[in-house]
């Protein structure tokens, strides 16, 4: 099989998260509770944009999208609500620059719901790609430490204590905010530009919440077109089997649920939703190429890159 054949299952955890970040991100990046795997950001950027393009992450966290973008010769702008994470993203960009990354990156500390007014007006309508992951669940992640005789303790599992952080606004509040953010993305994207968003279903009060499905619908109501729904693996592919990389905490949650008779599975992937801004109706060659977009969106065997 040719190595460059587009696939809907992305082998993005062939190396574990620590190995992917080692030396490429500043050490204290580990204090953020929910970082995107660098290989997911890098693959999305390589697939849906070209060198010289502008890539944006409206909820930038430690700046994984921005770091991978500037290493791949794209320019990048990140928006992050929490000053501490925005500062960390800036430190990671400075580190990437010191390692020879050729793209230019910057971070604005602001609310992603105001994306079109936060960006330089000159950039509005020129963004090729948004890569992002929404916050959800006040405390789904974190670092677990085991101490002999004292059990386990969890740390670095919150974005902040600010109730306005979108991690703390509940499902309805998050979907509402994402409608505003995705509408903003549709406004800043160039015609035919992409949004690549990682998101997972999660359990709440004994029910599985289909957040990917809900966000796909929100995206479509926000002026975007669902283009692909891919799987970014969080487990390594080795010959014919998967090597799980689930955290101690994730395994513990599944074990406890199973002990209560709930047949939960360990999550081994992120859904990667790809949405697209509609093309202009101009009759240029590029516009004609993206004008076929709705057909492609419903063809699961269609290639990832136009």
Ligand X SMILES: C[S@@+](CC[C@H](N)C(=O)[O-])C[C@H]1O[C@@H](n2cnc3c(N)ncnc32)[C@H](O)[C@@H]1O
Q: Taking the complex as a whole, how short is the minimal distance between the CB of residue 30 and ligand X, in angstroms?
A: 11
CB 78 within 8 A of CB 107: yes
Number of Cβ within a 10 Å radius of residue 91: 18
Q: Are 189 and 127 in contact (CB under 8 A)?
A: yes
In the complex, which residue's CB is closest to ligand X? Answer: 61
> Closer CB to ligand X, residue 75 or residue 111?
111
Q: Does residue 111 touch ligand X according to CB under 6 A?
A: yes
CB 165 within 8 A of CB 171: no
In the complex with ligand X, the residue whose CB is nearer, 164 or 262, is: 164
Smallest gap from Cβ 272 to ligand X, in A, equals: 12
243: left (phi over 0), alpha (psi -120 to 50) or beta: beta
**Residue 258 CB neighbour total at 10 angstroms:** 12
Q: Of 124-163, which residues contact ligand X (CB under 6 A)?
A: 133, 135, 159
Centroid of chain to Cα 85: 16
Is the CB of 97 or the CB of 158 nearer to ligand X? Answer: 158
Residue closer to ligand X (CB basis): 53 or 111: 111
Per CB under 6 A, contacts with ligand X among 27-86 are 32, 34-36, 59-62, 64, 79-82, 85
Alpha carbon distances (Å) from 80 to 34, 95, 236, 285: 13, 18, 30, 36
Minimum CB–partner distance for residue 60 and ligand X (Å): 6
- Interface positions with ligand X (CB under 6 A): 32, 34-36, 59-62, 64, 79-82, 85, 111-113, 133, 135, 159, 165-167
């Amino acid at each position: 099989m040719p190595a460059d054949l587009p696939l809907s299952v992305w082998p993005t955890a062939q190396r574990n998260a620590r190995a992917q970040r080692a030396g490429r991100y500043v050490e204290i990046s580990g204090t953020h509770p929910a970082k995107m795997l660098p290989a997911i950001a890098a693959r999305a950027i390589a697939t849906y944009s070209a060198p010289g393009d502008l890539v944006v992450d409206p909820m930038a966290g430690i700046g994984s999208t921005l770091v991978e973008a500037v290493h791949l010769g794209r320019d990048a702008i990140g928006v992050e609500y929490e000053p501490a994470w925005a500062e960390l993203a800036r430190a990671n960009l400075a580190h990437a620059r010191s390692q020879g990354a050729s793209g230019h990156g910057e971070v604005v500390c602001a609310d992603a719901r105001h994306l079109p007014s936060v960006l330089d007006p000159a950039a509005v309508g020129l963004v090729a790609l948004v890569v992002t992951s929404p916050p959800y669940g006040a405390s789904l992640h974190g670092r677990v430490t085991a101490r002999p005789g004292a059990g386990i303790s969890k740390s670095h599992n919150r974005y902040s204590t600010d109730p306005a952080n979108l991690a703390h606004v509940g499902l309805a509040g998050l979907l509402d905010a994402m409608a505003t953010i995705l509408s903003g993305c549709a406004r800043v994207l160039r015609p035919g530009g992409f949004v690549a968003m990682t998101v997972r279903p999660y359990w709440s009060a004994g029910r599985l919440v289909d957040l990917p499905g809900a966000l796909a619908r929100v995206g479509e109501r926000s002026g975007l077109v669902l283009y692909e729904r891919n799987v970014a693996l969080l487990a390594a592919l080795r010959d014919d089997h998967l090597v799980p990389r689930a955290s101690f905490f994730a395994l513990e949650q599944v074990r406890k649920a199973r002990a209560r008779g709930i047949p939960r599975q360990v999550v081994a992937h992120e859904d990667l939703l790809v949405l697209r801004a509609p093309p202009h109706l101009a009759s240029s060659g590029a516009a004609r190429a993206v004008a076929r977009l709705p057909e492609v969106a419903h063809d699961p065997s269609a290639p990832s890159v136009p």
